[in-house]
């Protein structure tokens, strides 16, 4: 059981670091938007994993709010790029 | 007692699969070349991983309230992930940030030239 826990921690950590690398390096702003979206979803996954492992329900509303609001980040970035590139 | 241990174990395995899907999305984001392919790698595994983790939450907490809370999370995520992916990929096409030599068919080009002429 402990091995599975350590494996979950390591996989989440490596995924977050790799995504962060794309946010830092990413050539265009849209690459960064996509990577930030993935990082946000991974935060949701980590909160859910925390609830599964520790058996509490305190962060369920946070999950709901992030699921509802999280889209507007990348939509706003896409619209902003549209306005700047438009004639 | 035995059944509860089994459910906890299955929930942990589901969380592990979800974490691996997050990792695959991250690797795809780093390895692929342009915005639409990165979007392709990013959107699908993250939604499936979130669904698996929500099933794990329902299995581990074993209460009707938690299950009823988890269902709208999955539905909202399923509804909004294509929305943002559509906006970002459309903008990537218009910006010219996609690698056009890899396209076999470009059905949007016709609409774009029609836009520019009018």
pLDDT tens digits for range B101-110: 777 777 777 7
CA distance B1 to B3: 5
- The tokens describing B45, both together, are 């595994």
> Would you say A46 and B57 are in contact if contact means Cβ atoms under 8 Å apart?
no
pLDDT tens digits for range A4-61: 899 999 999 999 999 999 999 878 888 888 899 899 999 999 999 999 999 888 899 9
CA distance A79 to B4: 48
Model-level ipTM above the cut of 0.95: no
Identify the CATH number of the domain defined by range B2-117. Answer: 1.10.287
The full set of domain ranges for chain B reads 2-117
Phi, psi values for residue B98, rounded to 5°: -100, 155
CA distance A18 to A12: 10
Contacting B residues, span 39-98, partner chain A, CB-CB under 8 Å? 39, 42, 46-47, 49-50, 53-54, 56-57, 59-61, 63, 65-66, 69-70, 72-73, 76-77, 80-81, 83-84, 87-88, 90-92, 94-95, 97
The full set of domain ranges for chain A reads 2-85
């Amino acid at each position: 059981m402990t091995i599975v826990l350590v494996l979950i921690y390591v996989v989440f950590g490596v995924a977050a670091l790799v995504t962060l690398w794309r946010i830092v390096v990413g050539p265009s702003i849209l690459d960064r938007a996509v990577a930030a979206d993935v990082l946000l979803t991974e935060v949701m996954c980590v909160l859910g994993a925390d609830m599964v492992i520790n058996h509490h329900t305190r962060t369920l509303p946070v999950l709901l709010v992030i699921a509802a609001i999280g889209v507007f980040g990348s939509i706003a970035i896409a619209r902003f790029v549209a306005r700047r590139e438009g004639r | 007692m035995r059944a509860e241990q089994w459910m906890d174990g299955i929930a942990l395995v589901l969380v592990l699969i979800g974490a691996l899907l997050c990792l695959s999305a991250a690797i795809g984001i780093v390895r692929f070349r342009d915005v639409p392919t990165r979007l392709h790698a990013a959107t699908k595994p993250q939604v499936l991983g979130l669904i698996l983790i929500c099933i794990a939450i329902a299995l581990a907490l074993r209460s009707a309230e938690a299950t009823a809370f988890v269902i709208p999370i999955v539905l909202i995520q399923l509804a909004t992930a294509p929305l943002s992916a559509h906006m970002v990929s459309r903008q990537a096409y218009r910006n010219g940030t996609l690698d056009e030599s890899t396209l076999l068919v470009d059905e949007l080009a016709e609409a774009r030239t029609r836009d520019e002429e009018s």
